[in-house]
Structure 1
């Protein structure tokens, strides 16, 4: 799990430097930084989402989002994430109004995506953590910018990353059998649309419960495996 540990460390270090810079920026600078991050997140999401080819694959993505969203709404995933963030905020007696928002949004950004899943599988099966090292560089850089505006809550997104990627690495041999190229394509496209949703939330264009849509990724894998 070397790659995941490095990824977690990168997020923590990046967030630390971001928090140091936070007090030195005016409100206008913080706002423009967040807008820049939002646009970058949306571009990344769109690039992933456009990986699908054909109407059948598009239908799988649509049904995955609908079914996964219903499951997540019933499970109240985003509410639990927010409550976890509130507990951490309370323990550290933080007065930052963006603490929970930073924690939830950063957790989703770092966990939703093919790089997190495929990197963890690659390390678990082959012992090759190179993909996660690359992700660590990206996440660490993003954490600096994100924490400079959202604050220390971003740092604690390292906890879900450790649990999520670590679990995939440990069970990589079982997961690899399911993830055919066709399944990966659907997983990537579905995850990409969720990332677009995160970007729109940060821009405050809409309030999309991306956390409740997380089961869509699992649904996409199941539907792809059964249909394609």
Structure 2
């Protein structure tokens, strides 16, 4: 297992570098590059959405999963954890720029999905677990290494704590891949990718400040989409 370690190291190194050079970074870079990364997230999302095989279960998973997220208030849970982490880290380091609390929490939730729940990271972890090929996670590491400094330049070292949920998610998927993938079909994986693409699209809108989609509350859809895809194909397909 090398992919999760490489990705975690890239995210952490990028976050530390961004937090340290933040004040020296050109203001245009700090304000405009996040929009570029948001656009990239939307483009990746669209590329993943078009892989859909069974549209109905994907939509059902997105709606039901988002409803579950709203019921348990997953977005609020993540925001509360982020707020506490910010307070602790800023006591040990410099403050996170001029960003107010609401803007900080909005961006933190979007980054959580971008770094930890993206289709590239999830599918890459599963692929390495089954085949030993870490190529997808290495590619994601390169992207994260350049993305993290831009956000850390305004949000501070707090971005670096995302390495923990990222490593946890990728490690669990790597270890469970031998149990998960034999139970899946190509169509189920395609629908999983499509569902992840919808969330990535919403994440891009949120990062760009176009629309504040509740992306964290949409995460349970990723758990539901493959079982629903299988059931739909088996009994209604």
- TM-score, scaled to structure 1: 0.90
List aligned pairs for 1:139-218, cutoff 5 A. 139-218=144-223
Partner of 1:37: 37
- The alpha-carbon deviation at position 99 of structure 1 amounts to 4.7
Gapped regions of structure 2 (runs ≥ 5)? none
Three-state SS of the structure 2 residue aligned to 1:23 is helix
Three-state SS of the structure 2 residue aligned to 1:128 is coil
Structure 1 runs of 4+ aligned residues shifted over 6 Å read none
Aligned length: 225
Compute the RMSD of aligned alpha carbons: 1.9
Partner of 1:73: 70
Distance 2:71 2:49 in 1: 25
Partner of 2:50: 50
Does the alignment pair 1:132 with 2:137?
yes
Q: What per-residue deviation string (whole Å, max 9, x for no partner) do you get for residues 41-62 of structure 1? A: 1111111112225xxx222221
Distance 2:220 2:83 in 1: 23
- TM-score, scaled to structure 2: 0.86
Q: What per-residue deviation string (whole Å, max 9, x for no partner) do you get for residues 108-155 of structure 1? A: 002233322222122223333232222211222221233234432221
Does the alignment pair 1:83 with 2:88?
no
- The alpha-carbon deviation at position 70 of structure 1 amounts to 0.6
Distance 2:175 2:86 in 1: 30
Distance 1:27 1:133 in 2: 29
Tell whether the 8 Å contact from 1:120 to 1:169 is kept in structure 2 after alignment: yes
